[in-house]
Structure 1
Amino acid sequence: MKKQIIQTDHAPAAIGTYSQAVRVGDTVYLSGQIPLDPTTMELVNASIDEEIHQVFRNLAAVAEAAGGSLADLVKLNVFLTDLAHFGRVNEIMRGYVPEPFPARAAIGVASLPRGARVEADAVLVV
């Protein structure tokens, strides 16, 4: 199968050697999103809630560019520098991802790019 590179100006540009997403058939692999504002490329980090919301907005923009939405998520990985924020991720995620929820992992990490406190990547089937 041929792979299709997904790119949108409605999500942050890649800050490394990766694509925002790659589609192969009906499966879309979304690269990790940190809470960068896609217009300014500045970290949105006044609060952990603001960071989580921005991550989900960024994921949604890439999913839309791939012809899907967060309703098409089948796997979500969330990386947190403090697992104490796990509950906030759950609460905020409900506003972006409808039931039935995707398979998911929440992983505690020592640090994330640009000093972010949260990052998420995902797999969609559209």
Structure 2
Amino acid sequence: MSWCVLKPFNVSLVKVGAVRNRIPFAIGGVGCASFVATGFWRHCCSNRITTPPFASLNTYTFPLFDGGQWSMSVLGVAKKESVKTDKAPAALGPYSQAIKSNNLVFVSGVLGLIPETGKFVSQDVEDQTEQVLKNMGEILKASGSHFSLLVKTTIMVADLKDFKKVNDIYAKYFSAPFPARSTYQVAALPLDAKIEIECIAELPQEVEPQP
């Protein structure tokens, strides 16, 4: 179990030294809390300071590793939702096709597999690139996002000499401002693929109608 105690006192004109030795406190989990008890204030400080106390409670969430498993700390957990669609290849292991968290979509590495058969569209890097982007488009659609909302892509190729072929097909799916991008040649890809692409996209924001 991990413990953290931070005690920020956001109190105008309060002598923290006088308060520190008189207020017991305990915080469980990983979090931060600050408070000034009103009763204590009236008892100790009413004759000297007329400014009312200010109390705040700040909570932070971090993953904790305890007893061989991960758990989230108390006082709030970020919303996380798995994305799944039959119109894109199924995950090849213990991972999701994509995860939605807050306002972002994190798409796992996508291969040029035909969803219905699980086989590569061909052994040609151009065909695989086209299929990768089609599959990615279906995952983004299932998440509620789109290519226009992509902010970052990562391309992994088996041979960097194929970069121009990949780039020409990639360019058909995007318009300015283009997402940020990294491209790497790797020693090997799953199923001996020629290319794999992963990405991060935003979710569309709801706009409230103007009166």
Short-chain TM bin: over 0.9
Rg: which structure is higher? 2
Name the CA distance, whole Å, in 2 between partners of 1:46 and 1:79: 16
Q: Alignment length, in residue pairs?
A: 126
Look up the SS of the partner of 1:105 in the other structure. strand
1:45 Cα deviation after fit: 2.1
Name the CA distance, whole Å, in 1 between partners of 2:85 and 2:144: 12
Name the CA distance, whole Å, in 2 between partners of 1:124 and 1:57: 15
2:141 matches 1:64: yes
Aligned partner (choices 88, 105, 108) of residue 31 of structure 1: 108
Tell me if the contact between 1:27 and 1:124 (Cα under 8 Å) persists in the aligned partners.
Answer: yes
Which amino acid in 2 is paired with 1:107? Y
Name the CA distance, whole Å, in 2 between partners of 1:64 and 1:38: 15
Identical residues among aligned pairs (%): 37
Query: Which residue number in structure 1 is paired with residue 94 of structure 2?
Result: 17
Aligned partner (choices 121, 125, 132) of residue 48 of structure 1: 125
Tell me if the contact between 1:45 and 1:116 (Cα under 8 Å) persists in the aligned partners.
Answer: no
Tell me if the contact between 1:7 and 1:20 (Cα under 8 Å) persists in the aligned partners.
Answer: yes
Name the CA distance, whole Å, in 1 between partners of 2:184 and 2:82: 27
TM-score (norm 1): 0.96
Tell me if the contact between 2:123 and 2:194 (Cα under 8 Å) persists in the aligned partners.
Answer: no
Tell me if the contact between 1:70 and 1:97 (Cα under 8 Å) persists in the aligned partners.
Answer: yes
- Structure 1: segments with no counterpart, 5+ residues: none
1:25 Cα deviation after fit: 1.3
1:96 Cα deviation after fit: 1.3
Higher relative contact order (CA 8 A, sep 6+): 1
Listed one character per residue, the Cα deviations across residues 51-99 of structure 1 (whole Å, up to 9, x for unaligned) are 1001101111100000011111100000001001111121101111222
1:46 Cα deviation after fit: 3.8
2:146 matches 1:104: no
Runs of 4+ aligned structure 1 residues displaced above 6 Å come to none
2:150 matches 1:73: yes
Name the CA distance, whole Å, in 1 between partners of 2:79 and 2:191: 33
1:19 Cα deviation after fit: 0.2
Which amino acid in 2 is paired with 1:94? A
For the aligned residue pairs, the C-alpha RMSD in angstroms reads: 0.9
Look up the SS of the partner of 2:154 in the other structure. strand
Larger fraction in strand: 1
